Amino acid sequence: MISRILIASSAAIILFFGGLHLAYTFFTDQLTPVEGQLETAMKHVRPRISGGTTMWKVWVGFNISHSMGLMLFGLIYGYMTVYQWEVLHRSYFLSGLGLLVLVGYVVLARVFWFKDPSIGVSVATLLYVAGFIYAFRR
């Protein structure tokens, strides 16, 4: 039971950060440039890959898809921990994949993001690892 609580807590943290990021994207200016001229430029500049969009739309779309990825991880691993524990516990593939995703987020957070997401995803990763260590020791 302790292992499930630890892993579910990890999933909940990631789900929380994904939801918060989505809320910041839609309802605040937290993810917009401080300099208004840059936002204006992003709304008019087109990326090399396609003339059918703007850098602003790419930026907003990236933030939405990033949020969706975090929320998907949290929902799937939370669900698996609560309702399909035996499947998750017995699958080295799923447990390893979850660890790889979390470690990937830790690296991204440390290299590209800022302190709060770095702390949050590191705590989530530690809880995940602790949960599986406890589960596999039994």
| pLDDT value, residue 21 | 95
> Smallest Cα–Cα separation from 97: which of 72, 60, 64?
72
Please state the pTM of the whole predicted model: 0.89
Note the pLDDT tens digit of each residue in 33-65.
888 898 899 999 998 888 889 999 999 999 999
Domain locations in the chain as residue ranges? 2-137
> Residue 138: is its pLDDT beyond 70?
no
